[in-house]
């Protein structure tokens, strides 16, 4: 019995067990229904899209040929795992994906026994699968372990570390190399070039036809297409057409009981089966709503303020116009980090290094050693990958690398794996590093310009989303390092007197709350070095200091303010507001900020509650009643 009209097969399949009851010759028809379901659902709600159209057959073949969940499938990133979610009891809830309380954006162990490993960041699958295969060996359990990793995911050092180790151990595991020649933007790297030449040689047109590979140093390599993987101890097979179900299942059946490390090269098309997405997989990587027939997106709302990402991208182009030493680096996030224009205008000074954050940071360090001015554009959450490089390669050597850190704070629908919740904590403890957080787009430009003038490393950390709509200042004048500014004075003499010390994106809601409280507001600008003079001045003049940041409270900017006060034996009461000591899930940014009490109403609530508490009684008694 189908439970959704129009989906005769899909409506009958709730679990992989039910899938495995279907005759194999019905699977192509099921694939057609799954694609239609994805297009209709995601057209309504948005989400990761093109990669999922590419994994429909792969997901079907894996669950059909393997005995899941006993056998383990480890998806890399998990943005391409929607078909897997659909086949493992979550199809009806797909329309809740990425929403508050809904299905998780990526794979999540707590969500399903079929999600064997939690993901969101890329290139972890081979390591995790190796761990599972090693556990099976130690526990003498018979189970197959399969990692599914894209050609983008394969550009990371971690993937190679895992191949090297798993090959050495001779683990019984299969790596599926899902090669669609795309990362979010075009994939880059020598491995990609090799693969593209191989496809040309084999006459496998799509998807490599559009972009010529770099000229080969040695065409003979193409006679041994899997040589690199073989060197790592993996037996290479393929390439196989990842949309040809019988071929795919034959390959999997042939490999599933093979001993030792295996790698199957599967060629897929990103956006498969939906013409607009096949034609422009970058645009359809992650989408908002669209028309499921034409692929058209709703008209953009009229002139909103530019995003911080755009502000950065424009600033970088201007900086590069003026100074030939400025170079831009991205670990595979050209679109997300606002570097499209820079890449077009300054191709020789643009480095997309692949999904290789560690390499991105140390590459920047090397460039800085030679007098270049590297600007490393990186999401807060992904800089976590390059943390030792930031300390060891950049900060210890005091190299002038500027980090443009996008997506600081809560990012919304991508959830716990992607929030930039920790950067202020993990940055402010690093010596030599200047850390700035802009409260509006002009401040962002000025901070970026400040960073470029410094003879030491610096970071400008800005949020996802739009600025506040200011007219751009003509000149982005550098700021005095370590100096904050008062952006609102108190009008009356109401007591207890409150001063809010706000960081970055929290300055705006702080200003709104301060209107009601008649509080002083300082835009602290610098998380490091903190403006100790301003902090002490505010401590002397007020009865309560409130710090606000969209970073975890633990070890964040507010902790820095506390440290300044303690060092001076100052006992002014302090309220630290920030993200809680727990992982924040997915939802809209507004919903999540409200949940964390970091919207205007939440800030007001927290301050008013604190004002009612005992230790401020003395200040209240001194009140003039104003």
Ligand X SMILES: Cc1ncc(C[n+]2csc(CCOP(=O)(O)OP(=O)(O)O)c2C)c(N)n1
With contact defined as beta carbons under 8 Å apart, do 538 and 522 qualify?
yes
* Residue 385 a catalytic site member: yes
Q: Does 80 bind ligand X (CB under 6 A)?
A: yes
Q: Does 406 bind ligand X (CB under 6 A)?
A: no
Select which of 385, 446, 464, 528 is catalytic.
385
Binding characters for ligand X, 326-365, by CB under 6 A (x = yes): ------x----------------------x----------
Select which of 35, 90, 144, 270 is catalytic.
270
The residue within the footprint of ligand X, chosen from 68, 116, 127, 183 (CB under 6 A), is 183
Q: Give the pair of three-digit tokens for residue 513.
A: 């709350």
As a whole number of angstroms, the distance between CA 437 and CA 423 comes to 11
With contact defined as beta carbons under 8 Å apart, do 514 and 500 qualify?
yes
The residue within the footprint of ligand X, chosen from 47, 152, 273, 374 (CB under 6 A), is 152
The residue within the footprint of ligand X, chosen from 108, 159, 184, 498 (CB under 6 A), is 184
- Selection from 202, 272, 279 nearest residue 60 by Cα: 272
**Which secondary structure element, helix H or strand E, spans residue 137, and what is its range?**
helix 125-138
Q: Does 490 bind ligand X (CB under 6 A)?
A: no
* End-to-end Cα distance, the chain: 72
* Residue 357 a catalytic site member: yes
The residue within the footprint of ligand X, chosen from 10, 87, 182, 444 (CB under 6 A), is 182
Binding characters for ligand X, 372-401, by CB under 6 A (x = yes): ----------x--x----------------
The residue within the footprint of ligand X, chosen from 59, 125, 127, 180 (CB under 6 A), is 180
Q: Output the CA–CA distances (angstroms, integers) from residue 48 to 79, 284, 448, in the order listed.
A: 6, 8, 31
CB of 359 vs ligand X, minimal distance in Å: 12
Q: Does 151 bind ligand X (CB under 6 A)?
A: yes
- Selection from 58, 19, 15, 62 nearest residue 35 by Cα: 58
Beta-bridge mates of residue 420 = 409
As a whole number of angstroms, the distance between CA 505 and CA 595 comes to 16
As a whole number of angstroms, the distance between CA 248 and CA 254 comes to 10
Shorter beta-carbon distance to ligand X: residue 336 or 556: 336
The residue within the footprint of ligand X, chosen from 121, 373, 428, 610 (CB under 6 A), is 121
Shorter beta-carbon distance to ligand X: residue 184 or 376: 184
Q: Does 449 bind ligand X (CB under 6 A)?
A: no
Rounded to 5 degrees, what are φ and ψ at 72?
-105, 130
As a whole number of angstroms, the distance between CA 233 and CA 220 comes to 20
As a whole number of angstroms, the distance between CA 132 and CA 166 comes to 11
Site for ligand X in 32-71 (CB under 6 A): 51, 54
Q: Give the pair of three-digit tokens for residue 359.
A: 């390499």
- Of the listed pieces 178-186, 197-205, 236-244, 550-558, which binds ligand X according to CB under 6 A? 178-186
Q: Which residues of 116-136 are buried (b: 16+ CB within 10 A; e: fewer)?
A: bbbbbbbbbbbbbbbbbbbeb
DSSP state of 451: H
Q: What are the residues binding ligand X (CB under 6 A)?
A: 51, 54, 77, 79-80, 121-122, 150-153, 180, 182-184, 270, 332, 355, 382, 385
Residues with active-site annotation: 270, 357, 385
């Amino acid at each position: 019995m189908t439970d959704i009209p129009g989906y005769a097969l899909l409506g009958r399949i709730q679990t992989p067990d039910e899938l495995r009851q279907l005759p194999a010759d019905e699977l192509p028809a099921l694939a057609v229904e799954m694609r239609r379901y994805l297009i209709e659902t995601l057209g309504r709600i948005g989400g990761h899209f093109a990669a999922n159209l590419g994994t429909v057959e792969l997901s079907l073949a894996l669950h059909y040929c393997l005995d899941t969940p006993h056998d383990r499938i480890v998806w890399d990133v998990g943005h391409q795992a929607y078909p897997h979610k659909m086949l493992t009891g979550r199809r009806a809830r797909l329309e809740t994906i990425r929403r508050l309380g809904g299905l998780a954006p990526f794979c999540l162990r707590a969500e399903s026994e079929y999600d064997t490993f939690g993901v969101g960041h890329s290139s972890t699958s081979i390591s995790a699968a190796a761990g599972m295969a090693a556990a099976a060996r130690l526990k003498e359990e018979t189970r197959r372990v399969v990692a599914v990793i894209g050609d983008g995911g394969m550009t990371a050092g971690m993937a190679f570390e895992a191949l090297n180790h798993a090959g050495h151990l001779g683990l019984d595991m299969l790596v599926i190399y899902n090669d669609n020649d795309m990362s979010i933007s075009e994939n880059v790297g020598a491995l990609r070039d090799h693969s593209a030449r191989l496809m040309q040689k084999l006459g496998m047109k799509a998807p490599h036809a559009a972009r010529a590979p770099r000229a080969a140093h040695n065409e003979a390599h193409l006679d041994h297409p899997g040589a690199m993987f073989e060197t790592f101890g993996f037996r290479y097979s393929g390439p196989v057409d990842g949309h040809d179900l019988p071929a795919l299942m034959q390959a999997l059946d042939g490999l599933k009981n093979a001993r030792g490390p295996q790698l199957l090269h599967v060629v897929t098309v990103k956006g498969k089966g939906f013409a607009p997405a096949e034609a422009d997989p970058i645009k359809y990587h992650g989408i908002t709503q669209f028309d499921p027939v034409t692929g058209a997106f709703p008209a953009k709302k009229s002139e909103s303020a530019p995003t911080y990402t755009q502000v950065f991208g424009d600033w970088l182009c201007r900086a590069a116009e003026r100074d030939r030493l400025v170079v831009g680096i991205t670990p595979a996030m050209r679109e997300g980090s606002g570097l499209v224009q820079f890449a077009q205008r300054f191709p020789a000074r643009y480095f997309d290094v692949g999904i290789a954050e560690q390499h991105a940071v140390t590459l920047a360090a090397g460039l800085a050693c030679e007098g270049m001015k590297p600007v490393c554009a990186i999401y807060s959450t992904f800089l976590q990958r390059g943390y030792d490089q930031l300390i060891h390669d950049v900060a210890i050597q005091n190299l002038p690398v500027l980090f443009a850190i996008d997506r600081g704070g809560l990012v919304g629908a991508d959830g716990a794996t992607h929030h930039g919740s920790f950067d202020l904590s993990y940055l402010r403890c690093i010596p030599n590093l200047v850390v700035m957080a802009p409260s509006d787009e002009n401040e962002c430009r000025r901070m970026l310009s400040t960073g470029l003038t410094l003879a030491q490393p610096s970071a400008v950390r800005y949020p996802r989303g739009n600025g506040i709509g200011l007219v751009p200042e003509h000149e982005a004048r550098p700021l005095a390092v370590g100096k904050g500014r008062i952006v609102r004075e108190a009008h009356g003499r109401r007591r207890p007197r409150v001063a809010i010390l706000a960081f970055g994106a929290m300055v705006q809601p702080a200003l709104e709350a301060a209107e009601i409280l008649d509080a002083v507001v300082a835009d602290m600008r610098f998380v490091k070095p903190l403006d100790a003079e301003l902090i002490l001045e505010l401590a002397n003049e007020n009865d309560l200091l409130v710090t606000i940041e969209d970073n975890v409270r633990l070890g964040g900017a507010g902790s820095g303010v506390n440290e300044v006060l303690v060092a001076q034996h100052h006992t002014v009461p302090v309220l630290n507001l920030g993200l809680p000591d727990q992982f924040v899930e997915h939802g809209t940014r507004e919903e999540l900020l409200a949940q964390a009490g970091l919207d205007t109403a939440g800030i007001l609530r927290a301050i008013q509650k604190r004002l009612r508490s005992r230790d401020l009684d003395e200040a209240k008694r001194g009140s003039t009643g104003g």
